[in-house]
Amino acid sequence: MKAPDVDLSLCSMCGICVDLCPLTFKINDAGYIEVIHPYGDSQEDINEAIRDCRSDCISWKESQ
């Protein structure tokens, strides 16, 4: 199975991923993007977030 992964060292906190996939990404209490549910939104919507991410820091990673 694969899951979206955010490279926080590149993330500019633009918020696009949260706007597009609010069930998958959120801004956590520490102020960083967190993947709260790898399949919270459709794969199509997550792919759109990956395409639209201005910092190109979301990718699919193999998960267990």
| Count, residues near ligand SF4 per rule CB under 6 A | 14
Q: Is there binding between residue 51 and ligand SF4 (CB under 6 A)?
A: no
6 in contact with ligand SF4 (CB under 6 A): yes
Q: Does 14 bind ligand SF4 (CB under 6 A)?
A: yes
Nearest by Cα to 33 from 61, 12, 48: 12
Beta bridge partners of 35: 25
Residue from 2, 37, 51, 54 touching ligand SF4 (CB under 6 A): that is 54
Neighbouring residues of 10: CB distance < 8 A, sequence distance ≥ 6: 55, 56, 57
Residues that bind ligand SF4 (CB under 6 A): 6, 11-17, 33, 53-55, 57-58
